[in-house]
Amino acid sequence: MAKDMNIPTMAEKTGKGEPVEVLFWVGCAGSFDDRYKSVTLDMVKILNHAKINFAVLGPEETCTGDPARRAGNEFLFQMQAMANIQVLNGYEVHKIVTTCPHCFNTLKNEYPELGGNYEVIHHSTYIQQLLDEGKISVEGGFFKGKKITYHDPCYLGRGNNIYEAPRRVLEALDAGLVEMKNCKTKGLCCGAGGAQLFKEPEKGDEDINIHRTEEAVNTGANIIATGCPFCLTMLSDGIKNKELENNVEVKDISELIIKDIK
Amino acid sequence: MQHISQIVFIITLGVFGFLAYKRVSFLRNCINLGKKELPAGSKAQRLKEMIFIAFGQKKMFKKPLAALLHFFVYFGFLIINIEVLEFIIDGITGHHRVFAPFLGKLYPVLMNIFELLALAVMVSCLIFLSRRNILKIKRFWSAEMQSWPRLDANLILVIEVLLMLAIIHMNTADQILQERNTHYTATGKLWISSLMIPAFTALDTGTLIFIERFAWWFHIIGILGFATYVTYSKHLHIFLAFPNTYYSRFRPKGHLNNMPDVTREVSSMLGLPGATATTENPVEIGRFGAKDVHDLTVKNMMEAFSCTECGRCTAECPANLTGRKLSPRAIMMATRDRAEEIIKNKIENEEKSLLDGYISREEINACTTCNACVEACPVNISPLEIIMQLRRYIAMEESGSPAAWNVMFQNIETNFAPWKFSASDRFTWAENQE
Ligand code: SF4
Ligand code: SF4
């Protein structure tokens, strides 16, 4: 399948002297995590479908440094950030789309202080724009009768006040959108942020992702939608823990859109 | 003879004034322990935030009932303080109800409004007391809310009820005296206090004068005492909420403050332009992150003293919710306690510090940086900023992060990804899928 896709790199495009409109920042999870690689590919399909002139950094991309910064290692963060900024500025990148709210937050809010100024868009907002502009559209019907609940990633919601775009995208699908009691500004964390994904949790009564999964399952939704690789992992683990794999799916919004794209 | 009460009053005022002055300079010293850094913002932005959040209590209204009751108490006290001004002038000059002749017909109207507010304050405080002690709302009973913090919260509510009762009693006795003795300024029938007249009419004039005077002194000393007490208590937020919301953070919550010292070092390591040659004039590099309150900013310290101990942050904290030791409220309380200890005991150098002495690594490490605490705080406090500064100290000054994080750091250094995947495999997702 991947062979049919058009995935140009910045190096190729620049080599041919072709300008690039949008850089798709894939992120570490999108590059290495088996589950999230399919989200990356679905995002590429959407970009191809909408005939967007985009490119990826491919082998030149490296970690934004976010987990290092959140764990307190500012040196490592800035080393990563400055190296990335050199590459991005070298290609004269103006606009970046990313499928990870952590990359999004870092690139958008934290790179400017280090000399990297770009228009950074999370894929939920980008997909919403593509829908609004008519560059992509959905059949409607694939999700008929399904119930979807949306889990707000912290770095998208509270971190950057993006609550509506992902919901607007989900509303475009022909499904019922149900909210958890703790949603939007009161959305409960999946437990992975702040570099928690990279270590065992501290002693407690219960794992945070299990708690959040219960809240999601209690809405009666068949699909838990989100827009973050870490939330996706944590909630999928929660569903496995509850042995509900056959009843509830955990999906990124791009995966849902691609199923029903016209 | 007549002037004795005036002299006593002026001395009382002086004593309380002195106490307040001492305490305010103590608090100023505590807050000034922090580095003089304030979050960026324009005057207009700041004023607007202060008017909405502190004066208008916008964030309180996420919990409408509590917000309404709190608004009564807050607004009631604000307005009733106009009456206190009259008390003070009366006390100094030996007048009685000095404003009455100036305000004429308006005076009884004002008195009625004050009485209604006093009733609202009383009822609200009684409801608050029962929420805390009978309904035992969870956020008022967590680990950090034992002994003094819990007593403090209850004490203030009881004092407020007593102060309001004093006003009503004073007015009741006063109204009866108005009829018996023309010396008392006529206020007409006041709505609330007149209801109690039947219970008092049997008393002789001497007793009534005593009750009226007693209630007057009780109220004014009560108010002065209250104002002093506030400075020892979480109720300091009555004043500090204003400067604290004025100096709010206006960047998106996801943004973490940059460390320019690190930027300078990294730039020169990478040989980037803009890296100023620091060899001739080496800049004194402070400590990375925070180990103690000196390493935090005045803003952090102001927040520690503005904290209302309401626990809305802790109630939303995913780590706390699932039984972990971390409580963002406890972070703020610990910061305040540490500052007070340093100033009180004139401590300069010692082994003990905020980190480990007051806040454990187990707490710091459990934070997901989700910003739920920041979002929930009615006075715009960020416990997260303090947590992050402590984490930075542990990671950069001690290399003492949890082992799994050190592994993650190594992976980023060698593979440019937080996991142990080879950098050369980064683009394989595009080749062999499906
Ligand atoms: S940011 Fe940290 S302390 Fe604040 S609510 Fe989230 S986990 Fe708790
Ligand atoms: S930090 Fe804010 S939310 Fe938390 S207890 Fe203090 S005032 Fe309440």
Segments forming the whole domain that contains residue B359 = 260-267+287-425
CA pseudo-torsion sign B154, B159, B164, B170: positive
For residue B216 the two structure tokens come to: 């007057």
Q: Minimal Cα–Cα distance from A171 to chain B, Å?
A: 26
Check which CATH number belongs to the domain holding B369 and give it: 1.10.1060
CATH class of A2-129: alpha beta
Best probe of the B interface among A36, A202, A207, by most B CBs < 10 A, is A202
Residue B182: CB atoms within 10 Å: 9
Number of separate domains in chain B: 2
Pocket flag, ligand 1, residue B332 (CB < 6 Å): no
Instruction: State the pLDDT at residue A190.
Output: 96
Cβ of A56 within 8 Å of Cβ of B326? The answer is: no
CA atoms of B76 and B80, how far apart (whole Å)? 6
Distance from CA of B291 to the nearest CA of A (A): 13
Which CA distances in Å does B5 have to A23, A212, B90, B94?
Answer: 80, 65, 11, 8
Asked whether residue B243 is assigned to any structural domain, the reply reads: no
Q: List A98's β-bridge partners, or say none.
A: A25, A122
- How far apart are alpha carbons B396 and B377 in whole angstroms? 29
Segment 213-232 of chain A within 8 Å of chain B by CB? none
Residue B406: the pLDDT is: 97
For A82, the closest of B272, B393, B395 (CB atoms) is B272
Instruction: Tell me: pLDDT of A230 over 90.
Output: yes
In a domain, B327, yes or no: yes
Q: Among the three residues B191, B217, B234, which one is the final residue of a domain in this structure?
A: B234
In a domain, residue B197? The reply is yes
What pLDDT, on a 0 to 100 scale, did the predictor assign at position B179? 82
Has residue B276 been placed in a domain?
Answer: no
* Cα nearest neighbour of B388 on chain A: A72
Under-70 pLDDT residues of chain B: 1-2, 182, 273-285, 349, 432-434
Residue B434 maps to a domain: no
Q: Which residue of B has its CA nearest to A230?
A: B368
Option in B265, B322, B432 nearest A205 (CB): B322
Is ligand 1 within 6 A of the CB of residue B13?
Answer: no
- Measure A251 CA to ligand 1 centroid, in angstroms: 25
The verdict on B52 and B200 lying in the same domain is yes
Q: Which residues of A touch B266 (CB under 8 A)?
A: 75, 78-79, 82
- Between CA B218 and CA B225 the distance in angstroms is 10
Amino acid B386 reads I
Q: Is residue B126 part of a domain?
A: yes
Let me know if residue B168 belongs to a domain. yes
Contacts of A163 in chain B (CB under 8 A): none
Say if A178 is an interface residue toward chain B (CB within 8 Å).
no
Residue whose pair of structure tokens reads 């509830």 in the numeric block: A248
Provide the token pair at B332.
């703020």
CA of B151 to the centre of ligand 2 (A): 17
Residue in the structure block whose two tokens are 């991947």: A2
* Pairing state between β A54-56 and A22-25: parallel
Q: What pLDDT was estimated at residue A1?
A: 42
Within this chain, do residues B196 and B316 fall inside the same structural domain, yes or no?
A: no
B431 within a domain of the structure (yes/no): no
CA distances from B237 to A59, A113, A157, B230 (A): 53, 33, 28, 9
The CA distance from A149 to A103, in Å, is 24
Yes or no, beta carbons of B429 and A114 under 8 Å apart = no
What average pLDDT does chain B have?
Answer: 90
Please tell me which residue of chain A has the smallest CA distance to B376.
A186
Q: Is B98 in the same domain as B8? A: yes
| Model confidence, pTM | 0.93
CB distance B368–A105 less than 8 Å? Answer: no
Nearest-CA residue for ligand 1 atom 6 is B370
Average pLDDT over residues A168-189: 94
Q: Name the residue type at position B126.
A: L
CA of B125 to the centre of ligand 1 (A): 30
What residues in A contact B371, CB-CB < 8 Å? 154, 158-159
Architecture in CATH of A138-260: 3-Layer(aba) Sandwich (3.40)
For residue A114, give the nearest of B263, B316, B396 by CB distance: B263
Whether residues B394 and B321 share a domain: the answer is yes
Query: A93 pLDDT exceeds 70?
Result: yes
Tell me if A2-129 shares its fold with A138-260: yes
The set of protein residues with a Cβ atom below 6 angstroms from ligand 2 is B 307-313, 328-329, 332, 376-377, 379, 381, 383
Task: State whether residue A188 sits within 8 Å of chain B by CB.
Answer: yes
Mean pLDDT of A70-78: 97
Which residue has its alpha carbon closest to ligand 2 atom 3?
B377
Q: Which atom of ligand 2 is nearest to the CA of B306?
A: 7
Nearest CA to ligand 1 atom 4: B373
Would you tell me which residues 100-119 of chain A have a C-beta closer than 8 angstroms to some C-beta of chain B?
105, 109-110, 113-115
Under an 8 A CB cutoff, do A1 and B370 touch? no
* Cross-chain residue pair B416–A109, CB shorter than 8 Å: no
Q: How far apart are CA A30 and CA A180, in angstroms?
A: 27
Domain boundaries of chain A, sorted by first residue: 2-129, 138-260
Answer yes or no: is pLDDT of A112 > 80: yes
Are the Cβ atoms of B409 and A76 closer than 8 angstroms? yes
B328 CA: distance to closest CA in chain A (Å)? 15
Same domain, yes or no, for B292 and B194?
Answer: no
- Ligand 2, residue B303: give the atom nearest the CA: 1
- B253: nearest CA partner in chain A: A159
Domain match, B211 and B336 both: no
- Indicate whether B134 and B215 sit together in one domain: yes
The answer to whether the Cβ–Cβ distance between B258 and A110 falls below 8 Å is yes
Residue B311 Cβ inside 6 Å of ligand 1? The answer reads no
Do B87 and B196 share a domain, yes or no? yes
A192-210 tens-digit pLDDT = 999 999 999 999 999 999 9
Residues on chain B touching A71 (C-beta within 8 angstroms) = 391, 395, 401, 405, 408-409
Q: Whose CA is nearest to atom 2 of ligand 2?
A: B377
- Indicate yes or no: CB of B254 within 8 angstroms of CB of A160: yes
